[in-house]
Each structure stands twice: as structure tokens, then as C-alpha cells.
Chains A and B, each alone.
Chain A
């Protein structure tokens, strides 16, 4: 059974810091891995999608890496801003069933001025 874990569960940092959020999954047979952001009371916003054959994806101040063999992904946020405050989730899709998303537990990020 695939299990996805995110560490830390919560993070509070001052503005301007560079951040690393971690995601680990127990079954390396994944199809892709996605990072999402969720603001309180809102739906998910997709941030980055990494296919299993890729090692990283970048979008603006965000960079996500994937080490499929070790079952890990990291989301790097450069020069954090208060507007980055949200819950960040990673999710994987299994290679033998690309329909189902398995989400991590999330990291609640607060960036204070």
C-alpha cells in the first residue's frame, strides 16, 4: 500500500528565508508526483508536476525534485514571502492505476513579515 508522508507537518519562518519541504512515498512505482498548494477554505492549486522519468521541475521561485528510487521529493521555495503561507501537499499516482491520487499529509507553512 502506497503511503505518502510529508515533513515537517508545520513550518513558521520569517520572510525571505529559503525553504525545503519534504515528501516521501513508500512505493517507488509511481507514475508522477505533484505538488499542490491549498489556502484556507479554498481548493487545491497545482504547483508542479513531475513525471516519473524526470528529476526536477521549476516554476518561478519553486523547484521540485524527484528521487524515485529512494521515494523522495522535495519542494524548494526561494525567498519566501507572506503570500506563500498555505498548506502544501504532494500527491503521487501509481503506475498501475493512473486514476487515483494518493496525497501526503501536508505541510502548513506560515511566512511572517
Chain B
């Protein structure tokens, strides 16, 4: 099956620094990628929808300037948490959808997630 790779799987950083998380579709082209966040004991929450070559669409309550999303190619989307603070500590997961309808069976492809801890 199709594979979505996220990197890094875990990152620890100091407060005030910026952290970049990569999401790659390894064997298919993804015109759309989704970024999710999950706090402990809470369900996954969609943060933004990333479309290749255009600006990301952010969900209500998600700060655009804090969570920068770049979908520069059909296989790579990046999420940058700028000036991270302890409250940004969370589990971030991406998912990708193949762009071509004939290959899109509705199956979802997810990265394994990135655990961010801000000290």
C-alpha cells in the first residue's frame, strides 16, 4: 500500500525555537495533505488542509502565522511550528490523498506522527 512518511518522529526543543516537520508521500503524488494535532486523551483534530502550489486552508482557531505550512511539491508538505511554546507540545500527524480520481479508492494514507515536546 501507499506510504506516507513523517519526520522527525519525536522532537524536543526549547521554548522560542522553530521546529519543522516533514510529511512525504513515498510512492504516490498527493495534491492534498492534511495536518492534524492530537493532545493527550483527546481525539485527533484537523489543523489545516494543504494543497500543492497554493496556500493552506486553516481550521478555525488555528493560527496561520504560528503553524506555517508549505506544500511545495506533490510529495512533500512541511509544517513549521514557529516560536514554539510548551502549550504547542502535542502529537502532529499528516495524511495524504492521491490526486487522481482513478487511483483514489477512498483509502487514507497517514504518516506515523511526530511527537513535539517544547521545554
Contacts and interface: CB of A to CB of B under 8 A. Distances in A.
Contact of B106 (A34, A36, A43, A108): A108
Given A32-B41, A43-B46, A43-B95, A101 B106 contact: no
Interface string A40-51: 111111101101
Contacts of B77: none
Contacts of B88: none
A108 to B, nearest CB: 6
Contacts of B97: 41
Contact of A49 (B42, B46, B106): B42
A25 interface: no
B106 A87 contact: yes
B108 interface: yes
A44 B49 contact: no
A55 interface: no
A103 B113 contact: no
Interface string A74-108: 00000000000001010100000011110101101
A99 B44 CA distance: 11
Interface residues of A, number: 25
Contacts of A51: 41
A36 B41 CA distance: 15
B42 A101 contact: no
A43 B41 contact: no
A44 B41 contact: no
Contacts of B9: 99
A65 interface: no
A64 B44 CA distance: 17
Contact of B108 (A32, A38, A48, A98): A38
B95 A44 contact: yes
Nearest to A42: B49
Interface in B36-55: 36, 40-46, 49
6 contacts: A44-B46, A46-B43, A48-B43, A51-B41, A99-B113, A100-B112
Q: Which 4 A-B pairs have the closest CB atoms?
A: A43-B34, A46-B43, A49-B43, A43-B46
